[in-house]
Amino acid sequence: MGRRSDRRGMTSWRAAVTTLICLILGGPATAFAGSALPTRSAASVDGVNSATPETAQVTSATSSAIAFIRNSTLWTMSPDGSGAAPLLATVGNNDAAPSYSANGTKIAFETARFSGGSPDIAVVNADGTGLVKVVQNAREPTWSPDGTKIAYVANRDGLIGSIYVANADGTNETRVTNAFPASDDQPAWSPDGTRIAFWTNEGASGLAIGIVNADGTGRSLFDPAGANWRAPAWSPDATKIVAVRSNPIAVDTALFVVNADGTGATRLTDGAFADDHPAWSPDGQRIAFDRNVSGHLQLFVMHVNGTVQTNISSNATSDSAPTWRPASSTAPPPSSRIAFVRTFEIWTMNADGTDATAVVTQPNGDSGPSLSPDGKKIAFTTGPSNIAIVNIDGTGLTTIVLNAKEPTWSPDGTKIAYVALRDGLIRSVYVANADGTNETRLTNAYPYYDDEPAWSPDGTRIAFSTTEGDGRVGVVNADGTGRTMLSPQFVTWRSPAWSPDGTRIAARQHDPNAASELAIFAMNADGTNVTRLTGGSNDDHPSWSPDGLRIAFDRTVSTAQIMVMNADGTGQTNISNSATADSAPSWGIVRVATQATSTTLAASANPAVFGQVVTLAAAVTAASGTPTGSVRFSEGTTTLATVALASGVAMTTLTPSVGTHTFVATYEGITGFAPSAADPLALTINRASTELAVKAAPDPASDGAPVTLRASVSVVDPGAGIPTGSVTFFDGATALGSSVLEARLATIEVVLSTGTHTITAQYAGDRDFEGSTAAAVTLTVQPSAVVVAVTETVAVSDQPAVLPAAVITVSEIVGVSDAVAVLPPAQISIGESVTVTDAAAVLPSVIVSVSETIALSDAPTIGNTSVGSLVHVILHAFNTDSAASLTFSTVTSSGNTTLTASLTGLPAPTGFDPATPLRYFDISTTATYAGPITVCIDVTPLTFVGSPHLFHLENGVWADHTVSFDPLLHEVCAIVSSLSPFLVAYDATPPEARIEFDAETRDLAVFGTDAGSGTSAAPVVPTVGVGPGRERRTYRVLDNAGNTLEIVIGVERDGHEVHATVIALRYNGGKSLVPPQNDLAFEWALAADATLRSLEQRIATGVGPDRQEVDARFDARSDTTEIKVKGSAGEHRISRPGLALIRLGTDRGVLIAQVPKLAAATASPQLVE
C-alpha cells in the first residue's frame, strides 16, 4: 500500500499537517507555565542514528498547549494561537502523526529527520528535549495506556502495512497483525490496553475497521456493506468507537460512532465536508476532528452527539489530525469557590463545603461578600456601612467607598455597583470604578428605595430589588436608563441574581399571606415564567454557580446555613454543616496561577525479593511552594492506590509478585499546581532466599525401628511468605524420600540400618522462593539390647496379639527389645523368665502353652526403657493422637514406660488456659532412673493461643518447667526430675490488637497492645500482597515473649471506593480464629480531593439467637454517623454528630466490636465502649 496517496489527493507520504490538541476539562487552565518560549541550549540527542544536536524555542511546562504540524515540522502554541514556535528547530523533516504519552510528558511522532526520506518513529519530551529515534521505517505511532509500549505501522518481512508493538524505547518489536495481501493502518489502543483498533483494506467493500487483541490474537472486522471505514478512535470508557465512514457512491465522508462490538452505527456529521481524524476528549464528552473548509483543513470540536460543531482553528493554514492530551496530564479547572459570611466574618469554601477558610476575621460586622470575576478579590460591606476590598488570601484590605453597602462586581471587574444614601435620598443604586472613584447614581425612585444590585452577565444591565410595587425586582441599564419592573406585584421580591447566560434571574420571594415563608424563585430575564425552586423554609440570597447548573442560597431554621441545589430546585444539600451562622453566598471562579510540577518515583529496594515490603515514594516538586493533592500509583491499567501528598511526598507499600513490574506515579494536580507524571519505574522482584533445617528423631535410634525425619523451611529476610513445594531427604548421597511442605514443614518416616548416618535435605524451591540445602546432621542407629540366658522355663499364657505362633525354646537370649527382629520363628529353649516390654511389636500373634504365666497386657503405649545413658523413648497414647518423647539421663534398671491421655485433672494455673482439646498427660515407668528427664509433648493435634507451656504436677500444684517450644517440629519440652501428670496450657493474656479506621490517613490502621503491660504500640506496618485491584494485608503484632498475633485483611479498590474485610486472625501461625459466618468489613469512599465522603463499618458475629450485628454509616454531607445495633435484644438505632468510629479489638483470641456507648437496655455482651 502506498503512502496515503489515496487521501485527499495528497501525493507525499505525509502532506497533511497534523495538530495535537490538549484541552482542559471544565475550563481553560493551562498545562505548561508561561507563554514565552525561552531558548534551549544545544544538547546531545540520544538514540539510533541520532541527528545533529538541535536548539529551538521550547515551551516551559504549563497547563495547556497545542502540539501540531506546520510545514512538516512539529510545533507548539498556546490554545489561543499565540506563542507559536517549533518544538524542534530543524524544519521540513516531514514530521507527522504526533501522539502524546499517557502521562503527557512525551510525544511520539513520525519524522524523516533521521533518514532524510522514509519515516521513522521518534520520541521527544513535551518540552522539546531528549529527541531520540526509537523505531526505524515505521509510521502512525500510538501509545499504550500505561505508557510502556507503542503500536505502529511498518512494512516488514515482505509484508505491507502490518501493526507492530514494541517497548517505548523501540525494543522487543512484535507483529500483531498479518493479513497479507491486505494491509492494516492507523492503530488505536483501547483504554484498558487489551485491544488495538485499526483500519484495513481487507473489507468486502474496501476499507473496514479491525480489532485485534494486543497479543495479536482474536482479529475481527467491522465491515458494513457499501461503505469504507477508517481512522478509528476509542471512547475513554472503551464502549464506543468513532470512525470515518465514506460512501464512494454518494461522495459522503462523515463521522459515525458505533458500539465497540460494531453495532449501533450513528451518524455525527452530515458529510457535506470531508471530515476526518476524530479523537475523543478525555472526559468522553466531546470529539475533535478535522474538516476541509474552502481548501484548508481546520480543526473542529463537537459534542459526542454531533451538535455544537465549533471551528477552533479559523486560520488560513491547514491543521489536521487532532489528538487530545490525556486527562491525567491536564491541570484541574479553576477552583469553584463560594464566599460567604460566617458570624459576621468573610470566609470562602469549596462548592462542596470543604476547605472553609477565613479571609477577614476582624470583628466589624462584615456582610454581603462579592467575588470579583477573576477570583482574586472580594468586595464586601464592613462596619456599619462601608465598602471594602480584600485579596482572596486575606491580604490588601482596603476601604474604597464610605457610607455604602451591598457591593457587586461588573462582569469585566472594572466597576462596582452598590447601594448608598446620598443627597437626602433614601437608598439608591450607584456605580463606581473598582477603586471607588467616579461614583455615579443609577436609580432615583424616591420615595421608593432600591437595594441589592446584580449585574447582568454581559454588563449592560443591573437588576435590583425595590419597594416600588410592594417589593419587586427591577432592571436598569448600566447607564441608569430604561428602568423596568420585572416580577409580579403584591409579593415581596428581594436578592436578585442573574444566571451566567443572562436568560434567568433567581430571587427570594416573600408571600405576605404566609408571613414566615421565604422561598427562592426563578424567572426569565423579562419577568415571565416564574418558577418556584424551594419550599419556603426562610431561604434567601441566591447565587448561581459559574456553569449555571446550580444555585447556592442560605436557609435559616435554627441557624443560617449555606445550601446548594440544582438550577431546577432539586438536590438541595447543606454544604455548611456548621454550628455557626453562614449566609449570603457569592459563587465564583478563583483562578490561581498554575505552576508546572515534576514528579519522580523511587522504590525503597530495587531489585527486591518476594515478600519484601517495597515502598514506592513519589515526590512532587514545583518552582515555589509545596504541591498538595494526591498521587495515583498504578501498574498498567490497574490503580494500586491513591495517596494524599504529605510535604510533597506520597508513599504506598506493596509486596509484588516475582517478575518485573512497571509502576507509574501520576500527580493529579490541584489548584495552583499542574498535574505531572513520573517516568515509569521498572521494579524487579526476585525469588526470596530460604534456609532449610533438618532433624532426625529419635537419636540414637534402634535397629529396625522407624525414624522420623523433619525439615523446616524458613525465609531469609527481607523476604517473607510461606514456601510451597517439596523437600527430599538424603542419607549421604542416597535419596530416602520426599514430602510436600505443609506450613513450612516436611516429614517422612524411614527405617535405617545399624550404624552412623549423615542426614540432609534439599528444598526444591517454587515460583516465589529459591531452593536450599540443609546442613547435615548425624544419626546413630544402635543394635538391639541383650538379656542374659537362664535355666528355668517360664510359662506364658495370654492374648492372641501377644504370644508366638509356636512353642519356642530359648537356650540363651541376647537382648530382647524387639523380638520380631531378634527371635527366630523356630522352637528354641528358654531358661529363665524374659520380660518383653512392647508385646504388640515383639511377639507373633498365636497362642501357645508354656509352663508358667507372665501377664502381658495388650498395651500399645508401652515403651521399653533399657539400661544406659541418654535413653530415648517415643510413646503414643492408646486410642488418641497424643504422642510424647522422653530422654532419661541415666537408666540403671530397665522397665516399661507408658503414656495415657485423659480429660480430667486439676484446673490450669492462674493466668493460663488449657490447650484444646483438653488433655492431661500421665507418664509413668517401671524402670529405675537417675537425673533429670526431658519430656516433649507433640502439640500437633492441639489448638492454643501464643506459645504453649508444659506444666508438671508437683505436690498438687502445677509447676511450669517449659524449656523450649519448637513451632516447626510442633514440640513443647520441659525438664523434670520425676514423672507425674503433665498439662499443656497457654498464656491467657496473649498479644492483643485493635483495628480502626484512621480518619486522618483515610485508611485502616492496626495497633498492637501488649495485654500484659497494657501499653499500646505504634501503628503496625503490614506486608501487602498485590493483585489486580486488590490487596492482602498481613499485620503482625508481637508481645514481649515473642508470640505473634497475625491479622489478615483483604482490601479491594474501585476508583475512589475501598472495601476492606478481616479475613483471618491467627496466633503463632495457627488456624484462623475468625468464624466464616462473621462479617467484619469497612467500606469507604473518597471525594475527588481525597477527603472522606462516606464510611460504612459493618460488624456481624455469631449465628442464630447469638447473632449480633452493628452497622455504622457516616455521611460527610450531613456530618452524621447513623449506628444500627441488632441482636437478641432487638434492633436499636442511634445517631451521632461527626465521624463515630467502631473499633475491632481482640480479647483472648476473640474479635469484639467497640462502638459508641449505648443505653444499657440495648447493649450486648460483645458490644462495649
Biggest CA–CA distance in the chain, Å, is 148
CA dihedral 579, 585, 591, 594 (to 10 degrees): 10
Which residues make up the CATH 2.60.40.10 domain(s) of the chain? 597-683, 690-782
Q: Which CATH superfamily is domain 19-329 in?
A: TolB, C-terminal domain (2.120.10.30)
Mean pLDDT of the chain: 75
Dihedral (Cα; 367, 368, 372, 378), 10-degree rounding: 0
Pick 185 or 1132 by higher pLDDT. 185
Three cell numbers written together for 300:
473542529
- Over residues 37-53, the mean pLDDT reads 28
CATH superfamily of 690-782: Immunoglobulins (2.60.40.10)
Looking at residue 45, its pLDDT comes to 27
**CA–CA separation, 421 vs 415, rounded Å?**
19
The set of cell numbers assigned to 532 is 418556584
d(CA 111, CA 116): 9
Region(s) of the chain under CATH 2.60.220.50? 859-987
Q: How confident is the model at residue 875 (pLDDT cuts 50, 70, 90)?
A: confident
Judging by beta carbons within 10 Å of its beta carbon (0-12, 13-18, 19+), is residue 216 exposed, middle or buried?
middle
- pLDDT at position 788, please? 33
CA-to-CA distance for 891 and 837, rounded, in angstroms?
A: 15
- Look at residue 470 and give its three-state secondary structure: helix
Quick check: 338 and 586 in contact, CB under 8 A? yes
DSSP codes of every residue in 803-818: S-SS----S-----SS
Rounded mean pLDDT of 372-377?
A: 86
Query: How far is Cα 222 from Cα 256, in angstroms, rounded to an integer?
Result: 13
In 294-354, where do the E strands start and end? 296-303, 310-311, 335-342, 345-350
Give the number of residues written for the chain.
Answer: 1169
Q: What is the pLDDT of residues 139-181, one digit of tens each?
A: 889 888 888 899 998 888 776 788 899 998 888 898 888 877 7
Give, in degrees to the nearest 5, the angle at Cα 1138 between 1135 and 1144: 80
3-class state of residue 729 by DSSP: strand
Q: What is the pLDDT of residue 814?
A: 31
Tell me whether strands 608-609 and 681-686 are parallel, antiparallel or unpaired: parallel
C-alpha distances (whole Å) from 956 to each of 963, 981, 987, 1092 are 21, 10, 20, 60
Residue environment code for 1050-1073, b if the CB has 16+ CB neighbours within 10 A, otherwise e = bbebeeeebbbbbeebbbbebeeb
Give residue 504's identity as a one-letter amino acid code. Answer: R
Closest CA relative to residue 668, chosen from 21, 27, 31, 22:
31
- Identify the bridge partners of residue 661 per DSSP, sorted by sequence position: 683
Query: Which amino acid would we find at residue 148?
Result: T
Position 658 scores a pLDDT of 94
Burial class (CB in 10 A: 0-12, 13-18, 19+), 308: exposed
What confidence score (pLDDT) does residue 1025 get? Answer: 64
Residue 538 confidence (pLDDT) above 70: yes
Q: Please identify, in words, the CATH class of the domain defined by 597-683.
A: mainly beta
The CATH number of 859-987, from 3.30.1360.70, 2.60.220.50, 2.40.160.40, 3.40.190.80, is 2.60.220.50
Instruction: Calculate mean pLDDT across residues 1025-1052.
Output: 72
**Where residue 616 falls among pLDDT bands split at 50, 70, 90?**
very high
At 600, the pLDDT band (50, 70, 90 cuts) reads: very high
Mean pLDDT to the nearest integer, 798-806? 32
Q: How confident is the model at residue 248 (pLDDT cuts 50, 70, 90)?
A: low
What number of H helices and E strands is found in the chain? 2, 93
Query: Contact at 8 Å (CB) between 58 and 129?
Result: yes
* Three cell numbers, residue 504: 434567568
Q: Supply the pLDDT for residue 620.
A: 94
Phi, psi of 453 (to 5 degrees): -70, 150
Rg from Cα positions in the chain: 42
Phi, psi of 839, deg, nearest 5: -65, -35
Indicate if the pLDDT at residue 758 is higher than 50: yes
DSSP bridge pairs for 664: 634
DSSP annotation of 492 reads E
SS3 content of the chain, % helix, strand, coil (to 5): 0, 50, 50
Q: Is the pLDDT of residue 451 over 60?
A: yes
Average pLDDT over residues 857-884: 69
Model pTM score: 0.41
User: CA–CA separation, 603 vs 600, rounded Å?
Assistant: 10
Whole-number Å distance between alpha carbons of 576 and 340: 10
Residue 421 phi, psi dihedral angles, 5° rounding: -110, 115
Residue 1113 bridge partners (DSSP): 1096, 1122
- Is the separation of the CB atoms in 635 and 661 below 8 Å? yes
pLDDT in tens, 679-737: 999 999 999 999 998 988 887 887 888 888 989 888 888 888 889 999 999 999 999 99
DSSP-derived secondary structure for 530-584: -EE-S--SSEEEEEE-TTSSEEEEEEESSSEEEEEEETTS-S-EES---SS-EEE
What is the pLDDT, as a whole number, of residue 726? 94
**Half-sphere exposure at residue 864, Cβ-oriented, CA atoms within 13 angstroms:** 22
- pLDDT of 44 reads 27
Q: Where along the chain do the CATH 2.120.10.30 domains lie?
A: 19-329, 342-578
In the prediction, which pLDDT does 362 show?
74
- Segment 1014-1020 shows an average pLDDT of 54
> Higher-confidence residue: 133 or 818?
133
Question: Listing from the earlier edge strand, what are the strands of the sheet with 450-455?
Answer: 450-455, 461-466, 472-477, 484-485
Residue 251 binned pLDDT confidence (cut-offs 50, 70, 90): low
Beta-bridge partners for 701:
781
Considering 199-203, 458-462, 1144-1148, the range whose residues carry the highest mean pLDDT is 458-462
34-48, 273-287, 599-613, 765-779: least confidently modelled range: 34-48
Mean per-residue pLDDT, 594-598: 84
Q: Which amino acid is at 772?
A: S
Confidence label for 571 from pLDDT (cuts 50, 70 and 90): confident
**pLDDT tens sequence across 86-117:** 777 666 678 777 887 776 778 888 888 887 67
pLDDT band at 768 (very low <50, low <70, confident <90, very high): very high
- Superfamily in which the 342-578 domain is placed by CATH: TolB, C-terminal domain (2.120.10.30)
The answer to whether residue 770 scores a pLDDT higher than 90 is yes
Query: Of 13-22, 214-223, 808-817, 899-908, which range is least confident?
Result: 13-22
**What's the pLDDT at 4?**
34
